[in-house]
Amino acid sequence: MPEIPDLEGYRAYFNRRLPGARVSRAMVTIPIVVRMPKEQFAEALAGETFGEVRRQGKYLLFPFQSGRLMVIHAMLTGRFQYCDPAAKRRARTVFLLALDNGVELRYFDQRLMGKVYLARDEGELPAAVPRWAEMGPDVMSPELTEERFLERLKKYRGQIKNVLTKEQCVAGIGNAYADELLWEAGIHPYRKRVELSDEALGALYGAVRSVMDWATAIVRERMEAEGLPDDHYRDHLRVHRKGGEGCPRCGSRISEITAGQRITNFCRKCQG
C-alpha cells in the first residue's frame, strides 16, 4: 500500500509537472474503481486545468483551477503512469487523462481495490468521499503537535500498532511504516497503548516525523531519477519485510508475525 513517503513522492513528482496542464480528454477504461458513471467523470474533467497536488492521510488530492478535486485512494495496488500517449498501457489501467502538454496521466490498479472520487469543491469532500469526515488529522500536519498527538492516541487502548494505523486516530500510517516507526522508537508493536508512558508516546511522535521525513527524501529522489515505479520502494526499510535478517541496531534476528494479511516485523531485543 502506498504510504506517506510514497504519496509524498508522487506529490512532488506531479507538482513538478502537472500544475497548469489542461486535460484535453478523459477516459475511464475500468469503471468499477471510479465512483461515478464513466461518462460523467470524462465530461467533468475535460477542459480542467491542474493546480497543486496535495495529500491528506492516504488520499492524493488533485485540485483543478475550477475548484473541483479528483481524490484517489490507491489502496493496495494503485499506481500511476505519466507517459507518452504511445507508451504501452499497463494491465488494469483504470483511467487516462490526455493533457495539453502532450503527456498522459494514467492510473492502474492490479487488484482494482483503489477508489477514485470527484468533489465539486473542498466543501463537498466529506459528502463525496466516504469516511472523509471521520478521518483523524494527518500525522504529518504541522497542527498535530506532540501534545495533540498524545491526546489522539489516548482515545484508544489497544495494541499500539493497531492504534497508529487507525485512520480515525491519526491518518497516513500503514502497515510497513508502522513497523519502522515502532522500531525507531523502541516500542513492541503488540504493547497496548494503555501500557505506554507519555515519554514512550513522545518518542513515537519524534519517530513519526524523523522516519517519514527520511523515507520521503529517499522516495522523492528515486522517483525523480528513475521515473514512477511499478512497485513501492521498500528496500530502504530497516525492519519491515526483513524477518530473519539482522537488526541494524543490535544485530539480533528480526521477528516476523503474520496475522490475517498483515506482516509485522520487529526486534525483540530493541523493542521491549
From 238, 249, 253, 262, residue interacting with Zn ion (rule: CB under 5 A): 249
**Per CB under 5 A, 254 contacts Zn ion:** no
- Of 87 and 250, which CB lies nearer to Zn ion in the complex structure? 250
> Is the separation of the CB atoms in 146 and 132 below 8 Å?
no
**Out of 11, 55, 58, 92, which one is annotated catalytic?**
58
248 part of the interface to Zn ion, by CB under 5 A: no
Task: Yes or no: say if 80 and 96 are a contact pair by the CB < 8 Å rule.
Answer: no
Region for 131 from its dihedrals, namely left if φ exceeds 0, alpha if ψ lies in -120 to 50, beta otherwise:
left
262 annotated active-site: yes
CB of 179 to Zn ion, least distance (A): 13
Q: Do the Cβ atoms of 144 and 137 come closer than 8 Å? A: yes
Q: Which of residues 53-72 bind Zn ion (CB under 5 A)?
A: none
Residue 185 interacts with Zn ion (CB under 5 A): yes or no:
no
C-alpha to C-alpha distance for 236 and 100, rounded to whole angstroms: 36
Asked if residue 247 binds Zn ion (CB under 5 A), the reply is yes
- Judged by beta carbon, residue 93 or residue 255, the one nearer Zn ion is 255
Query: Active site includes 19?
Result: no
What Cα–Cα distance (Å) separates residue 268 from each residue in 158, 194, 249, 251? Answer: 19, 20, 12, 11
Q: Determine whether 3 is an active site residue.
A: yes
* Contacts for 49 with CB less than 8 Å, ≥ 6 apart: 20, 21, 22, 23, 64, 65, 66
Verify binding: residue 253, Zn ion, rule CB under 5 A.
no
Q: How far is the CB of 246 from Zn ion (least distance, A)?
A: 8
Comparison of 120 and 269: residue with beta carbon closer to Zn ion: 269
According to CB under 5 A, which one of 32, 194, 250, 257 is a site residue for Zn ion?
250
**Cell numbers linked to 216:** 520521503
**3 state SS for 52-110:** CCEEECCEEEEEECCCCEEEEECCCCEEEEEECCCCCCCCCEEEEEEECCCCEEEEEEC
Q: Considering the rule CB under 5 A, would residue 270 count as an interface residue with Zn ion? A: yes
Stretch that binds Zn ion, among 107-115, 135-143, 201-209, 247-255 (CB under 5 A): 247-255
Nearer to Zn ion, 206 or 248 (CB): 248
Q: Which residues bind Zn ion (CB under 5 A)?
A: 247, 249-250, 252, 267, 269-270
* Catalytic site positions: 2-3, 58, 262
